[in-house]
Amino acid sequence: MNPNVPSIDQLKEIALPAPVSYAPQTWGWWVLLAALVLTALIIGARRYWQWRRDRYRREALVRLAQLQKRSDDLNALRELPELLKRVALSMPPRHMKIPVGAGLLAKASGQSTSILNGPASSRASPLPQGPAALDRDGWQAYLQRHIKQPLPADFSQQLALLAYAPESTLRALPAEQRQHLFDTCKLWVEHHHVAA
């Protein structure tokens, strides 16, 4: 055997370099990572807060679907206006801004500053009224103010008809009109916005 011929026993394993660490090597990457984690936490917390805030909307849509399944029942039709009013009352209270100094003005004139119940004297008060105290035209304006899509011009009148008309009038409503009322109510509940 020739001594100059290398043998397999002489082969040695090549030393591999140390594995590259996935940890950032400079402080700038740590700052970027912290900013990304903080942004993700803020976005997640905001979405969770919005999800909890819109609980009333989800519950109203479930109830509306239940009512729509029994749209031939007069009680289901009569509950539509009440459902919309409850949704309006359940909206987060930020939807009505009180002008700066309005509380002092109302206090000086002896008026109530309660937003949900409306002021004690609605004609002379500069405070905005809550949805519970609105008349037909005010209710129509309130509903239209909180949605971008146009509502039928007589929507509040149709809701008043559902609430107060005799049963014979409700039975005479065509199925298309009933369906349109349910669709309009669903549109408002789904898409109404709360002004920040």
Instruction: Render pLDDT for 39-56 as a digit per residue (tens, 0 to 9).
Output: 999 999 999 999 998 898
Q: Higher confidence at residue 58 or residue 134?
A: 58
Q: Which pLDDT score is estimated for 31?
A: 93
Give dist(CA 63, CA 57) in Å, integer.
Answer: 10
Q: Which SS3 state, helix, strand or coil, does residue 8 take?
A: helix
* Mean pLDDT confidence for 166-172: 88
Nearest C-alpha neighbor of 61 from the set 40, 95, 86: 86
Q: Which pLDDT score is estimated for 122?
A: 41
Does residue 138 have a pLDDT over 60? yes
* Mean pLDDT confidence for 87-91: 84
| Whole-prediction pTM | 0.62
Q: Which pLDDT score is estimated for 195?
A: 55
Average pLDDT value over all residues in the chain:
78
Q: Which SS3 state, helix, strand or coil, does residue 19 take?
A: coil
* Mean pLDDT confidence for 107-112: 46
Does residue 103 have a pLDDT over 60? no
Rg of the chain over Cα atoms, rounded to whole angstroms, equals 32
Q: What is the largest CA-CA distance in the chain?
A: 119
Domain range list for the chain: 49-96+128-191
Query: Which residue is it, tokens 């103010």?
Result: 145
Tokens standing for residue 151: 């509502």
157-165: list long-range contacts, CB under 8 Å, 24+ apart.
Answer: 159/80, 159/81, 159/84, 160/81, 160/136, 162/77, 162/78, 162/80, 162/81, 163/78, 163/81, 163/82
Q: Which pLDDT score is estimated for 62?
A: 94
* Mean pLDDT confidence for 173-183: 90
